[in-house]
Amino acid sequence: MSANKLSASRVRQILVAAQKTRVLVVGDVMLDQFIWGGVSRISPEAPVPVVDFSRESFMPGGAANVARNLVSLATPAELFGTIGNDDAARKLLKLLGKQSIGCGGLVKSSARHTSIKTRIVAHQQQVVRVDRETRGALDAKTNAGLIAEFKKKIAKADAVIVGDYGKGVVTQPLLNEIKSLCHARGVWLSLDPKPVHHLNLSSLSLITPNRKEAFELADFLDETKNANPLADKNLMLVAERLLKELNPALLLITLGELGMLLCQRGQKPFHIPTVAQEVFDVSGAGDTVIASFTLAIAAGASPIEAAILSNHAAGIVVGKVGTAVTTPEELVASFSK
């Protein structure tokens, strides 16, 4: 199959099948706040732009954005993580409810703040980001509560996505429990890694590092970058090492403007060039990739079909400002061009 050959009718078929699946999303949930405005002058107090406030908006972020991507593509999703007992949590729960995302797996902890990422955007350009969050690992009681909620729903799940954003929810004990439950039931398990955590990521169904993360996971120095990923010797060595050491069923390395590299043991790596026409904002693009790839697999797509579909989905969202999502109509249309 050519890297761009997936018919619109086949994409429609995959998306219809995905509506009958159920995906669980576990990880660091957060609230994305956007402050929109314009810049017409530099501050007299410091060499920084003065943003004239226009409006603000809120969106689910982190693992919650993965769930948001799933439901935007009409795939039922349930979210598992922790939130604080604060105003940000209430805003987040209200947003998730409006988008029909299952929130029964969100465990409240008065010892933690709900993570908020505030992005100030002027003229479609992000000026600065402010993070308010708790990064420590979950305490034993909260972790046990989270696992208990997850166990209630795993029996009816077709796939699980773990979103690790380094905020303390995804710990080795939690990941071990999730792996054990998924393996026992034959449930697909995808994970977006955060190498700084040094977790044991062995024996997952799918891991989706970007190029930088892949090199960090392989403990390999990224000295050169080839415009042709298949001719990039260092990238090929990293992919080979990760397949051997972590033993995932699939390894999908996202390469930004160079697209994606799908790797499987015993097969040649498959390169999918990007289809993005314009790039306004890459915020949340990784969430779109892992969500759309996983729902495609759950719906019966082949790994190559899932990779091509997720590449198109990412190409759509980077053309929008903010942590965006795509719809079935937009995705099918992108294959009709």
pLDDT tier at 319, thresholds 50, 70, 90: confident
pLDDT of 2 strictly over 50: no
C-alpha dist (Å) from residue 8 to 85, 115, 195, 305, 328 = 45, 38, 36, 12, 11
Q: For all residues of the chain together, what is the average pLDDT?
A: 92
Q: How far apart are CA 54 and CA 211, in angstroms?
A: 36
- Two tokens, residue 119: 């992005």
pLDDT of 198 strictly over 70: yes
pLDDT of 223 strictly over 80: no
Strand pairing category for 270-272 and 260-263: antiparallel
Max Cα–Cα distance, the chain, nearest Å: 63
- Residue 2 domain flag: no
pLDDT of 8 strictly over 70: yes
Whole domain around residue 256: which residue ranges? Answer: 8-336
How many domains is the chain partitioned into structurally?
1
pLDDT score for 274? 87
Q: How far apart are CA 233 and CA 245, in angstroms?
A: 18
pLDDT in tens, 26-68: 999 999 999 999 999 999 999 999 999 999 999 999 999 999 9
pLDDT of 153 strictly over 60: yes
pLDDT in tens, 278-316: 665 566 789 999 999 999 999 999 999 999 999 999 999
pLDDT in tens, 98-131: 999 999 999 999 889 999 999 999 988 889 999 9
Among residues of the chain, what percentage have pLDDT more than 70? Answer: 96
Residues in a beta bridge with 252: 262
Contact criterion met (CB below 8 Å) for 113 and 89: no
- Residue 249 domain flag: yes
pLDDT of 196 strictly over 70: yes
Non-local (6+) Cβ contacts of 44 within 8 A are none
Q: Specify the CATH number for the domain of residue 257.
A: 3.40.1190.20
pLDDT score for 81? 97
Which of 121, 173, 131 shows the shortest CA–CA distance to 30? 131
- Residue 3 domain flag: no
Q: How far apart are CA 64 and CA 31, in angstroms?
A: 8
Q: Which residues are catalytic?
A: 287
What is the sign, positive or negative, of the torsion defined by CA atoms of 226, 230, 233, 238? positive
- Residue 1 domain flag: no
pLDDT of 87 strictly over 60: yes
pLDDT score for 225? 77
Element (H, E) at 214: helix 211-217
pLDDT of 4 strictly over 80: no
pLDDT score for 277? 64
pLDDT score for 3? 47
pLDDT score for 1? 45
- Residue 309 domain flag: yes
